Amino acid sequence: MYIADIIGKLNHKFSIVAFWSKTQVAFEKYYQYLKIIKGDHRWFIMFAIARFPLGRTMGKVFYRDQSLALTETSYPQDDVNHATSIFNELDVDLATQSIKKHGYYLGLQLPQNIVQEILEFAYSADIYVDGNPRLKFKYAEKEQAAQEYNLNILIGNYLDVNSKCAALQKLGSDSKLNAIAAKYLENKPVLVRSQLAWNFIGNKEDYAQKGEIGSPSILFHYDLDDYRALKFFFYLTDVDTLSGSHRCVAGSHNQRKLMYCLLRSQSDQEIVDYYGSDNIIDICGSAGFGFAEDPFCFHRGSPPVTSPRLMIQLEFALNNYGMWNLS
Ligand SMILES: O=C(O)CCC(=O)C(=O)O
């Protein structure tokens, strides 16, 4: 029997190829974690303890970026300069109270001119498969790129969005978004992530490996990006339950089992059993709709079935561990 036959038979039985590709993905992700630790060892302490209620409280002690925090005299920012916000109707206190109580706030709306500006950028700029600088394509050429790279392209990121897209830069410095973040974090917020990305049509199996180690983005999970963090999401395409809606579990930022502190990912069934299906919020909205979410809430994405989703994620935290490129 030839070696190829043996490998073929073993592969049939144990799916060696699938195992190998999962191992490669895991190695790449662990390598990313090592790079973050090498850049800022405080991340490791945070990652180990912020999952526990006591650890999050102790975060104030471990949080040493005093130059950013305590020297700020205008914290919390009550004197929001409305002229520097694009969100005319947004009530900062109402939004902050909602996030404190439910873990999210659903009332954000981008002005139409900003939606247009970002869409024009998105349809003309280079997109990178999973953010890989070696694998780029334009939106209209996605199918050719999939063939050329021999890949099922699921996630397409834009790189250097802040320097290339003025509208995104404007969002990151928006006075009302910053004020909500300051009030919620009870400290001066630092922008740590500014991301514009496509989720293309794909199935659950294909999406199962996307996301962080041990917490795929389509499984309910919470993020451990800092002791306290706040995210703003904006849809740039119309999103319904079949086109990549984001799901969030109301109140889960304040209530969890000890087991959840250890295991950041949980199945839909486990989440329904513990929190109840009424608390799972399926967030849908037209292009321009936005929401804020404490990423410590259980949340998950859903693979788009009918049309791709384009979404912005802005994240504010206490510390910038350098996990995302902000250029
Ligand atoms: O794509 C989504 O809606 C989920 C994103 C997510 O899970 C995350 O940012 O941690």
74: pLDDT strictly greater than 50: no
Range of the domain at 165: 68-317
Residue with CA at minimum distance from ligand 1 atom 4: 301
Nearest CA to 156 out of 117, 195, 121, 193 is that of 195
Mean pLDDT of 130-143: 95
Q: What is the DSSP string of 133-172?
A: TTSEE-GGGHHHHHHHHT----EEE-SSHHHH-HHHHHHH
pTM higher than 0.85? yes
Calculate how far, in angstroms, residue 59's C-alpha sits from the geometric centre of ligand 1.
24
How far apart, in whole angstroms, are the C-alpha atoms of residue 171 and residue 101? 25
Residues with Cβ within 6 A of ligand 1? 217, 223, 246, 299-301, 313
Instruction: Answer whether residue 8 shows pLDDT above 70.
Output: no
User: What number does the ligand 1 atom closest to the CA of 217 have?
Assistant: 7
The reported pLDDT for the residue numbered 189 is: 94
Domain count, the chain: 1
Q: Which of 98-112, 202-216, 283-297 has the lowest mean pLDDT?
A: 202-216
Domain assignment present for 326: no
What's the 83 CA to ligand 1 centre distance in angstroms?
Answer: 31
Asked whether residue 274 is assigned to any structural domain, the reply reads yes
Residue 313 Cα to ligand 1 middle (Å): 9
Instruction: Classify residue 90: in a domain, yes or no.
Output: yes
Question: Per residue in 141-158, pLDDT tens?
Answer: 999 999 999 999 999 999
Mean pLDDT confidence for 7-31: 63
Compute, in angstroms, the gap from residue 13 CA to the centroid of ligand 1. 33
Kindly state whether residue 147 falls inside one of the protein's structural domains.
yes
CATH code: domain of residue 265: 2.60.120.620
Q: Is 271 among the domain residues?
A: yes
Alpha carbon of 73 to ligand 1 centroid (Å):
34
Q: Is residue 85 part of a domain?
A: yes
Summary mean pLDDT of the chain:
88
Distance CA 237, CA 308 (A): 8
Domain membership flag for residue 51: no
pLDDT of residue 54: 93
Q: What is the pLDDT of residue 75?
A: 47
Minimal-distance CA residue to ligand 1 atom 1: 301
